Amino acid sequence: ESDIYIVTVGTPLKKNSKSPDIDHAKKAIEAISKKLKKGDLIILRSTLPVGFTRKIAIKIIEKLSNFKISKDISLAVCPERTAEGKALVELDTLPQIVGAADDLSYELASRLFNINTHTVIDVGDTDSAEMCKILDNTFRDTIFAFSNQMALYFEKSNLNLKRLIDS
């Protein structure tokens, strides 16, 4: 008997194609859709391909719930941007990205996150919010890869990377 449903499930890459495995997200949305009542809010926080919400999630929700997004049900994409084990601290300090299906969905999602977050950033639509999550993950991956390469180089060169970073 909830009014707000938050979906944050893993989206690993498929081994053969390296494309995102969206099965967990689809199954979570299917389960939620069967429980919805008019006025509920769904927030997607997972890493999702751009267009997933618009092309897939909305169709599932509307088919299984018999409600219409933006008329009966609110829907927003608010990507999780926290490091594992630091979610509560970072929720309080990181700006929260919100892309919504409509103005009411944005307002409801913003009100929820404003309880803990100092800044909510309206990126407009769900596609933009999905892309923010992908950009954030790509940036993190790039930083990690660069750091690992530097560590290998420093080790081969007999230089102390930690000492130089600290300096």
Q: If pLDDT is split at 50, 70 and 90, which confidence band does 149 have?
A: very high
What are 32-89's pLDDT values in tens digits? 999 999 999 999 999 999 999 999 999 999 999 999 999 999 999 999 877 667 777 7
Say what the pTM is: 0.86
- 12-31: average pLDDT: 94
- pLDDT value at position 90? 76
- pLDDT value at position 118? 82
- 8-23: average pLDDT: 92
* Cβ proximity of 46 and 80 under 8 Å: yes
125: Cβ contacts below 8 Å, ≥ 6 apart: 54, 99, 100, 101
- Bigger pLDDT: 55 vs 147: 55
99: amino acid identity, one letter: G
